[in-house]
Amino acid sequence: MGLSITDALLSDPNVVALMQANQTYDAVISEVFLNEAHFGLAEHFKAPLIGLATFGAISWNTDLVGTPSPPSYVPHAMMRFSDRMTLLQRVANLAFLSYDYLFQNFYYLPHQADIYRKYFPNNKQDLYETRKNTALVLLNQHVSLSFPRPYSPNMIEVGGMHINRKRQPLPKDIEEFIEGAKHGVIYFSMGSNLKSKTLPMEKRQALLDTFSQLKQRVLWKFEDTDLPGKPKNVFISDWFPQDDILAHNNVIAFITHGGLLSTTESIYHRKPFVGIPIFGDQFLNMARAEQNGYGVTVNYEELTAPKLLAAIERLIKDPEATKKVQDMSDRYRDQPETPLERAVFWVEHVTRHKGAKYLRSACQDLSFVQYHNLDAILLLYGGIIFVLYCLGLLIRRLWRFLQELFIGRASDKSKSKAKLN
DSSP letters, 342-364, are HHHHHHHHHHHTTT-GGG--GGG
Handedness of CA 298, 300, 302, 308 (dihedral sign): positive
- The residues facing 236 across adjacent strands are 220
- The residues facing 40 across adjacent strands are none
Digit-coded pLDDT (tens) for 18-66 = 999 989 999 999 999 999 999 999 999 999 999 999 888 888 999 999 9
Write down the pLDDT at residue 421.
58
Which helix (H) or strand (E) element contains residue 174? Answer: helix 172-179
* Vertex 150: Cα angle to 146 and 154 (nearest 5): 105
Write down the pLDDT at residue 280.
83
What is the spatial distance between Cα 372 and Cα 374, in angstroms, rounded to a whole number?
5
Res. 420: pLDDT tops 60: no
Q: Looking only at Cα atoms, what is the longest distance across the chain? A: 128
* 155-157 vs 251-256, strand pairing mode: unpaired
- From the list 62, 14, 6, the residue with the least C-alpha distance to 30 is 6
What is the spatial distance between Cα 74 and Cα 364, in angstroms, rounded to a whole number?
20
| Cβ-count burial 143-152 (b if 16+ within 10 Å, e if not) | ebbbeebebb
Digit-coded pLDDT (tens) for 160-170 = 999 988 889 99
Q: Are 100 and 59 contacting, i.e. CB atoms less than 8 angstroms apart?
A: yes
Write down the pLDDT at residue 141.
93
Digit-coded pLDDT (tens) for 187-236 = 999 988 788 888 999 999 999 999 999 999 999 999 988 899 999 999 99
- From the list 288, 275, 365, the residue with the least C-alpha distance to 314 is 275
What is the spatial distance between Cα 206 and Cα 300, in angstroms, rounded to a whole number?
11
- The residues facing 312 across adjacent strands are none
- How confident is the prediction for the chain on average, in pLDDT? 93
Q: Are 266 and 274 contacting, i.e. CB atoms less than 8 angstroms apart?
A: no
What's the rounded mean pLDDT across residues 239-257?
96
Q: Please give the distance of CA 356 from its chain centroid, rounded to a whole number.
A: 25
Residue-level length of the chain? 421
Orientation angle between helical segments 13-20 and 2-11, nearest 10 degrees? 60
Res. 404: pLDDT tops 90: no
Digit-coded pLDDT (tens) for 352-399 = 999 999 999 999 999 999 999 999 999 999 999 999 999 999 999 999
What is the spatial distance between Cα 115 and Cα 117, in angstroms, rounded to a whole number?
6
Write down the pLDDT at residue 39.
97
